[in-house]
Amino acid sequence: MKFYSISNREKRVSLKEAILRSVVNVTDLYMPVSIPVMPDTFIKNLKGRALNEIASEITNAVFGDDIPPDIICRIINEAFTFEIPLKRLNDNLYVLELFHGPTLAFKDVGARFMAGLFEFITSEEDHEINVLAATSGDTGSAVASAFYNKSGIRVIILYPEGKVSLIQEKQLTTMGGNIISIAVDGTFDDCQRLVKLAFADRDLNKRLILTSANSINFARLFPQAFYYFHAYAQLEDDSGSLVFSVPSGNFGNLTAGLIAKRMGLPVSMFIASTNINRSVPDYLNNGVFEPKPTQHTITNAMDVGNPGNFPRILELYNYDIERLRSDLKGYWFNDLNTMKAMADLMDEYSYQADPHGAVAYLGLSEFMRNNDCTGIFLETAHPVKFADVVSRATGIDIAFPAAISGLMDLEGKTIKMGNSFKELKEYLFSSG
Ligand SMILES: *Cc1c(COP(=O)(O)O)cnc(C)c1O
CA of residue 246 to ligand 1 center, whole Å: 9
Is 300 near ligand 1, meaning CB less than 6 Å away?
A: no
Q: Answer whether 133 contacts ligand 1 (Cβ < 6 A).
A: no
* Ligand 1 centroid, distance to 226 Cα (angstroms): 16
Q: Give the distance (Å) from ligand 1 centre to CA of residue 388.
A: 19
Position 25 scores a pLDDT of: 45
Q: H helices of 369-411, where? A: 387-394, 402-408
Distance, CA of 147 to CA of 250 (rounded, Å): 22
SS3 90: strand
pTM confidence score? 0.94
Give the pLDDT of residue 95: 98
Alpha carbon of 179 to ligand 1 centroid (Å) = 23
pLDDT of residue 26: 54
Q: Using the 8-state DSSP alphabet, how is residue 162 labeled?
A: T
Q: Is the CB of 253 inside a 6 Å radius of any atom of ligand 1?
A: yes
Q: Which atom of ligand 1 is nearest to the CA of 249?
A: 9
Res 432: pLDDT: 73
Dist. CA 397 → ligand 1 center (Å): 24
Q: Is 248 touching ligand 1 by the criterion CB < 6 Å?
A: yes
**303 CA to centre of ligand 1 in angstroms:** 9
pLDDT on residue 431:
84
Closest CA to 245 of 220, 259, 228: 228
Contact 5 CB / ligand 1 (< 6 Å): no
Residue ranges of alpha helices (H) inside 238-331 are 252-262, 279-286, 310-316, 321-325
252 lines ligand 1 (CB under 6 A): yes
pLDDT at site 211? 87
CA of 425 from ligand 1 middle (Å) equals 31
DSSP code per residue over 313-352: HHHHTTT-HHHHHTTEEEEE--HHHHHHHHHHHHHHH---
Q: Which atom of ligand 1 is nearest to the CA of 385?
A: 13
Q: How many CB atoms lie within 10 A of CB 214?
A: 21
Averaged in consecutive runs of 10 residues, what is the pLDDT profile of the chain (432 residues)? 90 88 66 96 96 98 96 97 97 97 93 95 86 85 93 94 86 93 92 90 89 85 97 92 97 97 98 98 96 91 91 96 98 98 98 97 98 97 92 90 80 94 94 78
